[in-house]
Structure 1
């Protein structure tokens, strides 16, 4: 039941992200710096350690002669796939004689529909307690907000009209798949590794604020603050 409330939280963020940012007294620059700082922390204090743990389990159960880097390779695939698709989508910006914005936005929205679906799937299919879901859900929710804002900047009219609902549909689809399909540890490990690579790429590309759009104190405080809290709860609750 708790997962339902977390999904609703994600959907609200995805659909109303730009309204939340624009109506908040925190301001857009601080919001993006906050999301970027937490996202970077999330990678180093949760994703990378979890990927290492998954690799250990994967090596013990998947193959008799397992290497020590299979899942890291799937993470590399995640980075390469999203980088390649992003570059192919960007070509539409410069292709003459085509409805550039429509093509570019369509490719992006389909890509991030799958992206949101896989993040949502791994979030709810993994073996996590309710407190873990709630705690890490904050970082994931802010990441969804940053993705939404980036899509809004690319084409605000189409994003408002149907883009945000497609991205919200990706979140909902991932949750439904996690809730109503059997979970294979092998598949979960591979999907986690792949989407981890994709998250790393998107955080570095979209959430590390540039010099002109960054509030450095907020970014630093978010990075180290979230890291300290994460390490503390890991020690106290043995996550």
Structure 2
């Protein structure tokens, strides 16, 4: 199934154009979400909590069941070392969680060191660049998957786009808090460009269904961690009801469609 999606995306000019438009739109989300000043508030904006709920619902209701199916398919198509990796796609999701947890801790500790040194509540340059580079790879992966969605059809493409657009708004809020002016001047442009780069790579590349499974597994782990680290800290004063509302409505939509 997944391989068929890759082929249909490459050879269908309408899907190609639409995915390009959606990639550009996601890039614009990074460039302009900072202008939504009502999101910078305590208690946490209900819109950020709703967006977090939507992102998590998409992963748990739409992506994880696909990973289970993909794991069975991969087991029948690959052998050797790759078979071991692809047979354990959930380990790849765990790697995604671990990688972005490590990045978050590094950024938090860097801010604390700068505060103690009297340099302000902002990350050090030595942390900013690895942090942004990692999210650039993350964004390039999302741009790539816009061209190679896990299911055929416009419905799947739009569901992925909508969930990722809200997810980017949530991510931007956290990255601006960590990196302040450096993110506004450099980081957001790098992340916006990464989406386009990922789409360009995807538009010229046909990949095996097993590779798609791995990419989605890593993305699933990254999304879950990046959402929860924004919602769980006590100082966020997050709105649980808004998170639950976003997750519930989008989960119901996914199940209905």
Q: Establish whether TM, by shorter chain, passes 0.5.
A: yes
Cα distance, 1:196 vs structure 2: 1.7
After the TM superposition, which residues 193-232 of structure 1 pair with which residues of structure 2 at under 5 Å, given as runs?
193-208=217-232, 210=234, 212-232=236-256
Match of 2:179 in 1: 155
Cα distance, 1:200 vs structure 2: 1.8
Choose from 33, 40, 53 the match for 2:49: 33
Cα distance, 1:21 vs structure 2: 5.0
Contact 2:23 2:146 in 1 (8 A): no
Match of 2:36 in 1: 20
Unpaired runs of at least 5, structure 2: 1-16
**Pair 1:216–1:199, CA change in 2 (3 A):** closer
Distance across 1 between alignment mates of 2:109 and 2:185 = 24
Distance across 1 between alignment mates of 2:173 and 2:237 = 13
Match of 2:64 in 1: 48
Contact 2:135 2:191 in 1 (8 A): yes
Distance across 2 between alignment mates of 1:130 and 1:57 = 23
- The root-mean-square deviation of aligned C-alpha atoms, in Å, is 2.8
Q: How many residues align?
A: 230
Match of 2:6 in 1: none
Contact 1:11 1:171 in 2 (8 A): yes
Cα distance, 1:131 vs structure 2: 2.4
Match of 2:110 in 1: 92
Distance across 2 between alignment mates of 1:148 and 1:176 = 23
Matched, 1:165 2:189: yes
Cα distance, 1:6 vs structure 2: 0.8
> Any idea what SS the aligned residue of 1:92 has?
helix
Cα distance, 1:28 vs structure 2: 6.1
Deviations 1:91-129 (A, max 9, x none): 4342788x8522222221111111111122123223532
Unpaired runs of at least 5, structure 1: 234-239
